[in-house]
Structure 1
Amino acid sequence: MSLSTGRLLRRLATVSMAALLAGCAVGPDYRTPSLSLPARWGAEAEATKPARPQLAEWWRNLNDPLLNALVSEAVAGNLDVATAKASIREARASRRQAAGGLFPTLDGVGSGDRAKTAATQTGTGKSALTSTFQAGFDASWELDLFGGTRREVEAATYGVDAAEEDLRSTLLTLIGDVAQNYVEARGYQARIALARRTAASQRETASLTEQKLEAGSASGVDVANAKGLAASTEAEIPTLETSFAQSVHRLGVLTGRAPSALGPRLAAARPIPAPKGMPAAGVPADVLRARPDVRLAERQLAQYTAKIGQAEAALYPSVSLTGSISTTSAKVGDLAKRSTIGWSYGPSVNVPLFEGGSLVAAVDVARAQRDQYFVAFRASVLTAFEDVENALVALRKERERTAKLGASASAYRDSARLSRELYRAGSSAFLDVLDAERSLYDAEDALLASRVLAATNYVALQKALGGGWGKPVEVSKPEVVDVATGPRLAARAR
């Protein structure tokens, strides 16, 4: 075998080995963890057949057009949503940046020199001026033999998925907060109106008691008690108005506006939103598909699993191919004509021999981080199940409580009416009227608070099931549009 033939075979073997190693990868391949899931919710009756939950635009079931409008405005203007959009743009750019490592790099270079040679060195007795111009290209390509760069791209891809799930999670929380604060605002309005009606009625009772005092059929104690009860009810109004204003202010911030911006739109009282029927909860497996926080945790687990391979690839040799070509001439115009052309190419190998254990430690760090995200994923699943179970029980029991409070308020309403009529006729003591009016106000106020709590429990259940904004969200538009970003004279810092 000739020398040239041996070299050729060695080169072919090298190329073949490189091609074989190009498909290699180190580190664990990600697999979605398998979990043992319950077949049904503990709060659901055994005889009930699970139905798939209807999560798309669930807030419309509250039948309030203004709430629907506020949700849309919050999705468009909320600052947390804007931050999540920017995170998606960052993740996508990071992925493109990581993918760039799979391709060669090419740089253009150029230089120009003008030199003067002293007369003593030219041998002619005269100094000489010479010019040298050079132009060319430098190229390099690090072969991804053990898949480190591919693992980096894989991790970045999972990072994009995680950022998108974070946006969905932000939207889910946002819509739930808007609905909850809106329901609470309407509840405070209803309780303020109740307190004012009750105080007015109690003032009428106090006036009647004063008339009886003048007629000698009532005591000054009765008059003082009647006025004190009316004043006590009126004292509830400022506290309720403060809570109403805080809910309005929160809604303003959630929609990306000034706190008081929605005051005029919410000034007119409306009924407390109340959904009809008990929403379907499906089965626990549905939550894993619907909850964005669970899907976010799973994507983060996948991302940090890929980072193990990225860290392990650093333990193996790396091979780079480099090359350059240049042309040199005495005149710029001769670079492409009468010039000297030079070139070079060849591989370079970098073998980690001793790194003080840092590379192995980096792998251990990556594995520990993966374990943390695995635990976080399992915790997110358990938290999701807990949220649904709690919301199911809370909604069902609060509706039962609302029904009982409604019956209680109705009974106290009859009691207050009869006690006033008997007192007016002189057949009942004033303490009976006082107790009846106090009990009636407490019962009606508790009924309104229970209606609000039932509606907010409905909101909590929809959030726990993963209901959110199902429409596409534009994320490519930046929040800040820069102008005049090209080369220019530097301006003074302001």
Structure 2
Amino acid sequence: MKVVLKRTRVFMLLAFALLPAGCAVGPDYRSPSLDLPTRWSGDKNKREPQPPVLAQWWRRLNDPLLNQLIDEAVQGNLDVAAAKARIREARASRRQAIGALFPSIEGSGSATRSRTATTTTDDITTPPSTGNQFQAGFDASWELDLFGANRRAVEAATYNVDASEDDLRSTLLTLIGDVASYYVDARGYQARAALARRTAISQRETAALTQNKFNAGSASAVDTAKALAQAASTEANVPTNEASYRESLHRLGVLLGRDPTALASRLARVTPIPAPRLPLPRGIPADVLTMRPDVRKAERQLAQYTAKIGQAEAALYPDVSLSGSVSTTALKLGDLGKNSTIGWSFGPTVSVPIFNGGKLRAAVEVAEAQRDEYHVAWRSAVLTALEDVENATVSLAQERIKIRSLTESAQRYGEAARLSHTLYENGSSSFLDVLDAERSQFSAEDTLLQSRVNIAKDYVALAKALGGGWDGAIDAGKPEVVDTDTGPHLPGALR
């Protein structure tokens, strides 16, 4: 046994001596670069741009209920739960890859009781016999990874963990933006439905006044019919807005991981359309490289598939592994482990690819092509991020200009409607003037409400485009399903 231990130590020392001599084939990853503008278009401020302020950007919408819904969505959303599971999967895969760097040892043991039959040879009869045989041992093997295939696998798995974590952040960014957008939509449809109801009531009053004038002989039946028709037309907007409100409400419920009608009571009370505090600092275009999680994810995937080239190239080189075994066999259990019952073996194994029809070289080319795909995907993600910011900036700026005109328009049409109604009551104006003024007032006020919705949603889009998401801690280690009774047991179908 001493000889075995000494030789085993030699075996281990040889392995450790060879390991540092190993190299890694394939390209080493370097972060890509892309020429980016130094400022966003339309930025006329000559001072140094302020860094983007994105921490809990939704609180700038000044709506406490929206803040609560976003907190609940982060905890309950199913897409977020799936992203957390992908992180756990990536981390487990990395541990698997790390395990390939170390030796593997397997133990075995057996106990056999046997009986031989009576045999007769050359008139010599051997009586039957019964005996025991005990055997124990272990086998060890270690791939030396001289050309870095396993180390490249660990490198790729590590990048994949980073990519999965950025995927979670990207999912949260999309989730928070969607919750804010659908909430703004819901409040907008509520406000538009309420406007339609108020306007229809006012138009019904005008119709009643016209009916009185008709009864007095100072108005025609045509005027009465037109007044009633306009009121009915305005009332027809209510179910349309109510349906859209319900759709937004249902979507919010699903985004929070609940049934579609779960938020009906909480949003039943009509509140103003959220109005953001502006402006929102945008920083510089290069900030999207670090702020946008989808861009970071694309960069980590590029790194992952660069490492996979090294894995594929390592298969072109010899594979060296060390293996050994120690076993002991005895007829009595107490004799196991004695020198006379111990056998051992160890030595290197070399596998050299000689001919494979170009399969291994083709695998390298596949890996290189995949790397190129992810390089293009990263560049596309960067350009898309820049486009998103520019589009959201333009939309927000132009909508702010538009709402100023719409506000004045709604005010003027309101004044015109009140004045024409007064003149009509006094008989100084025709009914057509009243009809036209009321129709124009409703249209202007409805369009103004839509513009307020658009400003809030453009603000949300800009915050998302800049990379504003959840900046709090996320526990991805807790599984969605906790298994119990996982030890040895009969399957449920057999119980």
TM bin, normalised by shorter chain, reads over 0.9
Give how far 1:233 is off: 0.1
Q: Which residue of 2 aligns with 1:180?
A: 181
Q: Which residue of 1 aligns with 2:287?
A: 286
Give how far 1:484 is off: 0.9
5 Å-filtered alignment, 1:149-228, equals 149-228=150-229
Give how far 1:251 is off: 0.3
SS at match of 1:265: coil
Q: Which residue of 2 aligns with 1:444?
A: 445
Distance 1:48 1:407 in 2: 34
Give how far 1:46 is off: 5.2
* Aligned residues with identical type, % of pairs: 65
Q: Would the aligned equivalents of 1:297 and 1:373 in 2 still touch at CA under 8 Å?
A: yes
The answer to whether structure 1 residue 118 and structure 2 residue 89 are counterparts is no
5 Å-filtered alignment, 1:11-30, equals 19=18, 22-30=21-29
Cα distance change of structure 1 residues 394 and 493 upon mapping to structure 2, 3 Å threshold? farther
Normalising by structure 1, report the TM-score.
0.95
Cα distance change of structure 1 residues 493 and 20 upon mapping to structure 2, 3 Å threshold? closer
Give how far 1:121 is off: 5.6
The answer to whether structure 1 residue 91 and structure 2 residue 90 are counterparts is yes
Amino acid at match of 1:62: L
5 Å-filtered alignment, 1:28-47, equals 28-45=27-44, 47=46
5 Å-filtered alignment, 1:345-356, equals 345-356=346-357
SS at match of 1:149: helix
Amino acid at match of 1:59: W
Cα distance change of structure 1 residues 49 and 402 upon mapping to structure 2, 3 Å threshold? farther
Q: Which residue of 2 aligns with 1:319?
A: 320
Stretches of structure 2 lacking an aligned partner (at least 5 in a row) = 1-9
Q: Would the aligned equivalents of 2:19 and 2:144 in 1 still touch at CA under 8 Å?
A: no
Q: Would the aligned equivalents of 1:18 and 1:145 in 2 still touch at CA under 8 Å?
A: no
Q: Which residue of 2 aligns with 1:434?
A: 435
Distance 1:472 1:262 in 2: 26
SS at match of 2:493: coil
Root-mean-square deviation (CA, aligned residues, Å) is 1.8
Cα distance change of structure 1 residues 16 and 134 upon mapping to structure 2, 3 Å threshold? closer
Stretches of structure 1 lacking an aligned partner (at least 5 in a row) = 1-10
5 Å-filtered alignment, 1:224-263, equals 224-263=225-264
Distance 2:349 2:412 in 1: 92
Give how far 1:50 is off: 1.6
SS at match of 1:378: helix
Q: Which residue of 2 aligns with 1:106?
A: 105
Amino acid at match of 1:132: Q
Amino acid at match of 1:246: E
Deviation digits for residues 357-415 of structure 1 (CA, Å, limit 9, x no counterpart): 10000000000000000000000000000000000000010011111100000000000
Distance 1:31 1:213 in 2: 85
Q: Which residue of 2 aligns with 1:129?
A: 130
User: Which deviates more, 105-114 or 310-319?
Assistant: 105-114
Amino acid at match of 1:440: Q
Give how far 1:51 is off: 1.3
Amino acid at match of 1:311: A
Give how far 1:331 is off: 2.1
SS at match of 2:137: strand
Q: Would the aligned equivalents of 1:329 and 1:339 in 2 still touch at CA under 8 Å?
A: no
The answer to whether structure 1 residue 75 and structure 2 residue 74 are counterparts is yes
5 Å-filtered alignment, 1:268-283, equals 268-283=269-284
SS at match of 1:40: coil
Give how far 1:15 is off: 5.1
Give how far 1:278 is off: 1.5
Distance 1:224 1:323 in 2: 101
Amino acid at match of 1:120: T
Distance 2:197 2:395 in 1: 30
